[in-house]
Amino acid sequence: MSQDPFALLKAEVDLLGRLLGEAIRTLSGERFFALVEEVRALAKARRQGDEAAGEALLARVEGLSTEEAEALVRAFTHYFHLVNLAEERHRVRVNRLRAQAETLESPRPEGFLALAKALKERGLSLEEAEAHLNRLELLLTFTAHPTETRRRTLRHHLEALQRELEAGDRERLAARVALLYGTEEVRKARPTVEDEIKGGLYYLPTTLWEAVPRVVAGLEAALERVYGRRPRLKSPVRFRSWIGGDRDGNPFVTPEVTAFAGRYAREVARRRFLEALEDLVRDLSLAEARVPVPREVRERGEGVERFMGEPYRRYFAALYRALEREEATTEGLLAALKAAERGLREVGLGRVAEAFLDPLEARLSAFGLELAPLDLREESGRLLEAAAELLRVGGVHPDFLALPQEERERLLTEELKTARPLLPVGEAPEGEALRVALGALKAWRDKGAHVVSMTHHPEDLLAVFLLAREVGLYRPGRPLPFDVVPLFETLEDLRRAPGVLRRLLENPVFLAHARGRGGVEVMIGYSDSNKDAGFLMAKTPFAMVRILWRYKPKLTEDEGVVFRRYGRVSERNNRALNQLIGGVSGFETDVVKTANAGEHAMSLGLALRLPLASGYAVEPQELVSLLELYGGVFPLEDEEVLQHGVEIFQIETRNPHLHENKGDEHIRDMLLACLATVYHSKLATEEVRQSVLEELQAAGALAPGEEPPPPVLYPPLSSLDLQAVRKALRGHLSRFRVP
């Protein structure tokens, strides 16, 4: 079979399309198959510019009955599912080929090898790199806003098709495609919240379960290639979930649902880890007579009756039994795995540890026995309503909500100095808000974070402490066993946020909590603030917008219009600026896409602060200046910018941007001016400068031994003496005439 990935993609799309056609013939008949083929052929002809075909297609579709139209949509929906499947496999193949082709000298910029190389070039030892990476924590949250509308059954069939394609069994492929086509896309009954929980967490014990060990192993292998020794890394990725805990605006997320969500996730995780331990019992059949065994491994397995003389089997059988009885913890299992791993490595069986134990360690560090700790999310008004009932029935205040905001904060702070509950023993809450809030906290076993949506004032968060005290989760002077997270959503709340956080960290209750938790998590509801205030109002006063032209056609004498995805100078300049950032950060990046932005704008506040370059250097120098002034490498003295920050928006347009082809000399001049900004930057490392020189010499813009001339820089407009400028202009105005 050809190794051309595009040829493989086409072959798979053709094969899946033919198999779908066979399924349509079988299940829907020849007449409907002919309709599908007719519509497909007309659509293809229209796409190729045949206007008559477009008119015929419109007439054909308009003449369909509702049943025929629905069936046609279903057929093409399944076709696009299959095409997407083939495209996903294509991306995997391309990435594999790129990974196979990379070398230490030329790693993929986005790959682990480039990261490992950058760490070493920054002077980090393997031990230091290992420590840095083991501190890395990327927390991904599955929210309660569904983005996957396909039934789990359809996802199952599509995943099975992936495996069938890999195996190359045409008969099973045909059978699976027929099953897919014959399956309803939409549920007959409205999904319950429990269904949403199961559907939302689908990828955790399936796709992500398989991916996490590969990520960790890939990162370890890259470091081994660069440093010569293999480190031990935990998963840099962990997961949380809002599904079943997000009560903000959803009355169906009851305390009972919250309890189910946590219970379901734990049970799924337990089953998967039991399967993994069962595999270890089956595989690690090392005989004590042949392999020395650590005392810890031998002793822990002594209570197991089976597998005499095979201590590792007995060891993991004991762990299996503990997990089955729900007597194991994530930390305990990790420690047990590490003990077994040390025993294997001490006798030269490191490969066995890597192949059989490391994947399970990676999964435990990523998922734990909770799979994804559940967050609670509730609107601040409901929390204050619940707190008001508590304070009323406890005799603290008859109408808490009528108090001024500052007085509410003072009252809650004073009340939280004691550990007393307020709800009388045996008395049930009267209000729905208090019943739900207390019920959810009692049902919430796997504590992620408690998110307070629509946070306005400090008392919104202090109300959580009061409610937590009522169910025994808070003691004065101690932190809560979970993070309390403010979520600022409106424009006014975003503006008020710094002051709210300042007051929270001055509050003795919240300060003790923040210190005990090691910091404060803050959430910004950008989409909500954007809906509230509009795109521009939600931004910093120091902003820049730059256009990425995805297509830059050139008008040439010989070939007419020649299409290029990127301009030749833009592509090289983007790469140089990303190298500049990478040289400072130690990490490879491709964040800069608009080094040469012919069309861009910036706020007046930012424009007054930036030095300006002349000629072709003007646009890349803007980014270089921003990095030098506000990139965090050098001290930032501008308090106003420090307060607001600088934002750069890179907006891609797919509209063609027509250019006249001005020849190679023009390209060399532009390239020299642009790359000179990077070469002469205060941030440029020797490696970056050398790379720029090689680029310019290869393009013929510099001779060997030459250096690019520094860009001509003009001081920021805010530093100019405007009175002197006005006087100079008046002295020369007579020389200018309007024709």
Helix (H) or strand (E) holding 612: strand 612-613
Extended beta strands in 387-437, E state: none
Catalytic site residue 447?
no
d(CA 386, CA 389): 5
Instruction: Name the strands in the sheet holding 483-488, side by side, starting at the edge strand that comes first in the sequence.
Output: 138-142, 237-241, 374-379, 447-453, 483-488, 523-524
d(CA 648, CA 597): 12
Single out the catalytic residue among 156, 531, 539, 600.
531
The residues facing 453 across adjacent strands are 379
Number of H helices, E strands in the chain: 29, 14
Long-range contacts of 24-29 (CB under 8 A, 24+ apart): 24/75, 24/181, 26/178, 27/178, 27/181, 27/182, 28/71, 28/75
334 backbone dihedrals φ, ψ, rounded to 5°? -60, -45
Under the phi-then-psi rule, with left for phi > 0, alpha for psi from -120 to 50, and beta for the rest, what region is 210? alpha
Helix (H) or strand (E) holding 667: helix 664-679
Catalytic site residue 552?
no
Cβ atoms < 10 Å from Cβ of 303: 10
Residue 319 in contact with residue 334, Cβ under 8 Å?
no
Instruction: Give every CB contact of residue 41 below 8 A, 6+ residues apart in sequence.
Output: none
The tokens describing 302, both together, are 């002594």
d(CA 169, CA 156): 18
The tokens describing 377, both together, are 């999310």
The per-residue DSSP string of 135-164 comes to H--EEEEE-SS----S-HHHHHHHHHHHHH
Single out the catalytic residue among 145, 188, 682, 732.
145
Residue of 380, 365, 96, 143 whose CA lies nearest to 245: 143
Sign of the four-CA dihedral 580, 584, 585, 586: positive
Residue 471 in contact with residue 426, Cβ under 8 Å?
no
What would the 3-class secondary structure string for 536-573 be?
CCCCCCCEEEEEEECCCCEEECCCEEECCCCCHHHHHH
- Please give the radius of gyration of the chain, using alpha carbons only, rounded to the nearest integer: 32
Residue of 589, 554, 587, 547 whose CA lies nearest to 568: 554
**Measured distance between the N- and C-terminal CA atoms of the chain, rounded to whole angstroms:** 71
Coil, strand or helix at 228: coil
CA torsion angle 380 385 387 388 (round to 10): 140
The residues facing 549 across adjacent strands are 653
Catalytic residues: 145, 531
